[in-house]
Amino acid sequence: MRKFSVPQGWAEPPEGFTVSPVNSPAALFHWRCLVVLLSLLPPIQRDEFRVDGRVRSDIKHPTNTEDSQVPVVDSSTEDEFTVIDVSYGSDVEVCNEKIITVNEAFDSHFHLDRTSFRIWKKSSGKSVDDLISYSLSGNQHPQLDVSVAGGVIVYSEPSTHPEIVSVERPWGVAVGVHPKHIEEFSRDRFLHMKELLNRPHVVALGEVGLDRTVPVKLWRRQEVVLCQVLTLSRKDKVLVLHLRGTPADRIGMDVHARCMQILHTFCDPDQPIHLHCFTGDARLVKEWMNSFSHVYFGFTGAVETFSTDQIDGLRAVPMNRMLLETDSPYMKPGGGYINTPAFIGDVATVVASKLQISVRYLLNETVKNCRKLYAL
């Protein structure tokens, strides 16, 4: 207790230190007080205090009191000890040895081809590791370092669909037609996309969808292409949807409603769905979950600018249906021209702050969700 009191500027605890009545602020560090404080927290927050996830088994009290002597620790010992804080992943010193604890993260949606072109002016020939190395060696270093343990590489421009899928798990590939690139769609590219969906490492159809930020005259054509692509939908491949309303409708109620109408024609209610870059409100979350039992919601750095209604929508998503995305090269948290999967930890920081939960908990849950949805 004295070791805690001196750095805080508190008077040293008296020789007769007691918890009841409390006669020193150092009582905050007494195990009985800590247990009481922990008991006031909800289970999710209590779990944050587990260092390695282990739970001790129940202690069986011996019946023979002579064999139940409890060893007494000399409180005057001068041995050093360290308070460990691993809320976000940190440098920890245990027994004078430095251990680096870094959280794992999954980037459930990013564009390798577009990001490569933005950095190196070519859409192919680069790997995910190249993107991450670029960010880690640059001036705009991520605020939160994480281990990017996997994710989904999205090819949504038919002109850049790969001929050969050369990734290995825990990385997967999605192939689709972005609603702003429907002019690239042709019968030959439709057939190539159909063939790609038979490859084992292609885990998703998408992104596909509707985007109302383009001229109205293109809206009907987007719907026609969406219907054509949905004929390829299947339950062993996640359907990744891009749905964006007009600039005046940030929630996107109209475009989501129209898409749901179309989906009911082509997809079963248990079709796995990933709502990419979701910006809806709580009502929209409920409507999707009532319509499709395996729907997941992806969130990007755009959460930084969410309205009150959109934050309510974020908080309405069950934790077991939440995904994190960089959508690189776009939507870099804090602004910037080039986003990469290296910044997925910064996305987690933004989302966790809106949810008022720890980053570590959010990363743990979203990694599990991405692995489950995409079987990665």
pLDDT digits (tens, 9 = 90+) for 307-351: 999 999 999 999 999 999 999 999 999 988 899 999 999 999 999
Sequence-ordered list of residues with C-beta below 8 angstroms from that of 267, at least 6 positions apart, any chain: 230, 233, 239, 273, 292
- Specify the CATH number for the domain of residue 109: 3.20.20.140
The pLDDT of residue 88: 47
Yes or no: say if 45 and 64 are a contact pair by the CB < 8 Å rule: no
**Pick from 21-25, 47-51, 242-246, 279-283: least confident:** 47-51
Angstrom distance (rounded) from CA 106 to CA 365: 10
Q: What is the pLDDT of residue 270?
A: 98
Q: Is residue 62 part of a domain?
A: no
Looking at the predicted structure, is the pLDDT value of residue 33 above 90? Answer: no
Same domain? For 40 and 137 the reply is no
Q: Please list, in sequence order, all residues whose beta carbon lies within 8 angstroms of the beta carbon of residue 7, skipping any fewer than 6 positions away.
A: none
Q: Look at residue 169 and tell me if it is in a domain.
A: yes
Average pLDDT, the chain: 86
Q: Is residue 347 part of a domain?
A: yes
So what's the pLDDT on residue 222? 98
Residues 148 and 254 in one domain: yes
The whole-model pTM stands at: 0.76
- Looking at the structure, do residues 278 and 186 belong to the same domain, yes or no? yes
Q: Give the model's pLDDT for residue 48.
A: 67
Residue 231 CA to chain centroid, in angstroms? 30
Q: Which structural domain range is residue 37 located in?
A: 1-51
Q: Is residue 127 part of a domain?
A: yes
Band the pLDDT of 70: cuts 50, 70, 90: very low
Q: Which residue has the higher pLDDT, 100 or 186?
A: 186
Query: Are residues 118 and 11 part of one domain?
Result: no
Number of domains in the chain: 2
Residue 59 has pLDDT above 60, yes or no: no
Q: What is the pLDDT of residues 131-188, one digit of tens each?
A: 999 999 877 889 999 999 999 999 999 999 998 888 989 999 999 999 999 999 999 9
Domain termination site, one of 51, 72, 88: 51
* Residue 97: per-residue pLDDT: 43
Residue 92 lies in a domain: no
Q: 117, 107 in Cβ contact below 8 A?
A: no
* Together in a domain, 132 and 193: yes
Read off the tokens for 122. Answer: 């070519």
Same-domain check for residues 223 and 302? yes
- 362 exposure class (CB count in 10 Å sphere: 0-12, 13-18, 19+): buried
Residue 312 φ/ψ, nearest 5 degrees:
-60, -40
Range of weakest confidence among 34-38, 104-108, 118-122: 34-38
Same-domain check for residues 364 and 280: yes
Q: 232 is written with which tokens?
A: 């390829």
Residues 34, 182 share a domain: no
Q: Determine, yes or no, domain membership for 238.
A: yes
Sign for the pseudo-dihedral over CA of 369, 372, 374, 376: positive
Co-location of 42 and 134 in the same domain: no
Does some domain include residue 233?
Answer: yes
Q: Looking at the structure, tell me whether residues 193 and 120 fall in a common domain.
A: yes
Q: Is residue 73 part of a domain?
A: no
303: helix, coil or strand? helix
pLDDT tops 90 at residue 40: no
Same domain, 6 and 145: no
- Report in angstroms the alpha-carbon separations of 96 from 74, 82, 83: 22, 10, 13
pLDDT mean over 233-252: 97
314 and 251 both lie in a single domain: yes
pLDDT at residue 15 tops 80: no
